[in-house]
Amino acid sequence: MDNMTLIAIASIVTAGLTTGLGVLGPALGEGRAVSTALSSLAQQPDAAATITRTLFVGLAMIESTAIYCFVVSMILIFANPFWNHAIAGVAGH
């Protein structure tokens, strides 16, 4: 196998693992946050506006982690910085 194939395989596998494992934590965190918010709403319905607003801010912060993992995987697939290094090595030989 040449270097280009190895870089392609490593990039695709790493992108898959980054997306797969990187969204697992935020998904569990979002589920727990919603569960806790619903429990709080059931106990204190008068504080619904405050709980809902805080929930949405928290969900946005949690979701940003998953978005960062997605961005890293897209960079690995479409704008991989290692391609330039591999191409320069092939051109130099």
Grouped pLDDT means (10 residues each) for the chain, 93 residues: 83 91 93 96 95 95 93 89 74 64
- Amino acid (1-letter code) at residue 41: L
Which residue segments constitute the domains of the chain, with CATH numbers given?
3-92 (1.20.20.10)
- Amino acid (1-letter code) at residue 14: T
pTM given for the model: 0.73
- Amino acid (1-letter code) at residue 93: H
pLDDT recorded at residue 68: 94
